[in-house]
Each structure stands twice: as C-alpha cells, then as structure tokens.
Chain A
C-alpha cells in the first residue's frame, strides 16, 4: 500500500496491481472536492489531487479529506494538472493509475471496474465510456451532440474505435502511463491521450461507466465554444516540434 494510508474498505482484491493511485485534477473545486476525495479514500485508494492554482481552498480541503496534494503555483490547465499527477504517482511507484474528475460526476465504484479491466494480460488502458450502456444520467441533448461530434473526430484522427472521448475516467498501467506525455495543457489533452494511445501501439478496452451530471458539473463542463478551442490547440500542436 502507499504511504497515503487510506482504509481498505471497498477496494477489490486486485491480482497484479499492488499500488494503484487515483489522480484528480482540481481547479476551484472547493464545494465538492472534499466529498470526492473522501469517496475515493473510503473505496481504499491512494489519491493525489493536483490543485491547479486554485484561488479557493481546494487544496486545503483535499488535504483534510485525505489526499496527497500537489499544488501548481499557477493555473496551467487540466491536461497539465493530470500529467503532474501522473508524474507524481509514478514517482511513488504506482503500478496503476486512474484519472478521476474533481467535480463529483464520477463514482468511486467505477475505479474497481477500470482497474479490473487493466488486470487483463496485454491491456494497458481502460477508458470509461458513457455510451456503452446508455446508463448515464441527466445528459443534456446539446452535450450528447457535442460528444458525438468529438467521437467522430477522434475516430477519424486516431483510428481508435472508441465510443466516448473527453471522459475523465480512465485507468492505465504504469507502462501505459509512461507512454503518455501530455503537452496539451487545456482540454485538448483528452484527444491527445487517445492519439498517444494509438501511437504507442498499446492495447485498450472501454468500460461502461455511469456519469452523474449535476447542475454544478454541467456548469463546469465544456461548451460548444470550447470545442473550437480544442480543435485550434490540436492543430497548433502539430505545427511545431
């Protein structure tokens, strides 16, 4: 187990995974980050929260809730925060990592399912999908259309037959994590991860996960205008070495 020392109450007995870490990128999530971290700790996982230069008490609350907190001195974006969390977890000799959103829309119960998926031999990534079961609650039609367009774009640009993109719930082995090097600081990191998975040649599976949309999480989520920014970021990244 890790030095974080969470209680082993709900965590499944995982075979070859001995030291899983949950990585949470958080920016001004003080209202919800405490309950999110508590839920993950109760499920029995070590959690590192990357406080991405929040102006509220996100980092302090996450620390009190039981997380290891890594604080960016300035706000860099979700992609940068996730990479920081991944780097930190790998330094702690994590053998599996799960990325988890800080806005409370993910269930800690999904972590075990994702980790079980990468327990399979030869699988290095497990990607959460909202659309495998259709069980996602409160998904507005506008968000569904936006996500469908993102899925189409990702399939066209990476060749990966994914059913969902921009889903923050993912698990990866340490080998998979080392194959990922996020340089998209902002929201385009979700597409960048899929591109790097495709380039790495490592295998992935999709795992159905339920996302509970709330007024809070929808308010923090992406909009159609963000899609344009993501496309510009992805295009600009291809221009320079």
Chain B
C-alpha cells in the first residue's frame, strides 16, 4: 500500500507536468498523460499489469511499470530538449536585434550627434513584446 501511494503521488506529479507541457509541446503532453494514466491504473490494478505484461512478453507486471516509468523519463528529457530549442529561438531573436541595431548605429554619419529622447518610465514600450516565451 505504501508503494502504491508513493507511486500515485509521483504519477500525479507527472500528470501535472504533462498538463503544463501540453501547452507548448502538445505531443509530449499527450504521451506523458497517457503513460501516467496507464501507470496509475496499473499501480492500483496490478493483476491487469501482470496480465498485460504476460501478453506483451515482459513477464512481471512490476517490470512493465518500471518500463513505463523509463518511457515517461525519456519523454521528459525530450521535452527539456525542446524547451532548450525554444530558448535558443529567443536568444537568436535577441542577438539578431542587437546585431542589426549595432549595424545601423555604426552606419550613421561619424560625428553626427546621437539624438535619443529620454523615455519616461511610465511610458509603454512602442515595440511589440516578443511573443515567444519559455514555458
């Protein structure tokens, strides 16, 4: 019973994670949700896990749950990889904006005074914010 409660808590956390991942990477959210729900079912109905394990040739139901857990872990790793790619997207846009601004500044006439209006702190930014956000 203790192990079942512990696994239930962990799989519930996976479900929450899958829900948050679903917004950015739907396929990961879907797969992780499916794996977590299947895990919850087998934790509480282990005889079905044993039957399914025997059917697919694994042997023991507990082994099947361990394998399911490994799959969930791999999906989480894949999701982290994709998040890193999203962050790289944002870094790219930032670096691009910096590079283009610097190039435009360096092309200005040398000696020409740089006119910069002070921007009041309360004023909203005119440029649209970058929509892409790491989640």
Contacts and interface: CB of A to CB of B under 8 A. Distances in A.
Contact of B99 (A84, A236, A240): A84
A73 B92 contact: no
A45 to B, nearest CB: 17
Dominant secondary structure at the A interface: mixed
Interface string A32-63: 00000000000000001010000000000000
What size tier do the contact residues of chain B reach?
Answer: 20 to 34
Do most interface residues of chain B lie in helix, strand or loop, or is the interface mixed? helix
Contacts, number: 57
Interface string B86-123: 10110110011011101110010000000000000000
Contacts of B48: none
B24 A71 contact: no
A interface, size bucket = 20 to 34
B100 A74 contact: no
Given A70-B100, A87-B96, A240-B86, 14 more contacts: A3-B107, A48-B103, A71-B102, A71-B103, A72-B99, A73-B98, A76-B95, A83-B96, A84-B99, A87-B100, A185-B88, A236-B81, A240-B82, A241-B26
Interface of A: 3, 48, 50, 68-74, 76, 80, 83-84, 87-88, 91, 183, 185, 236-237, 239-241
Interface of B: 24-28, 78, 81-82, 85-86, 88-89, 91-92, 95-96, 98-100, 102-104, 107
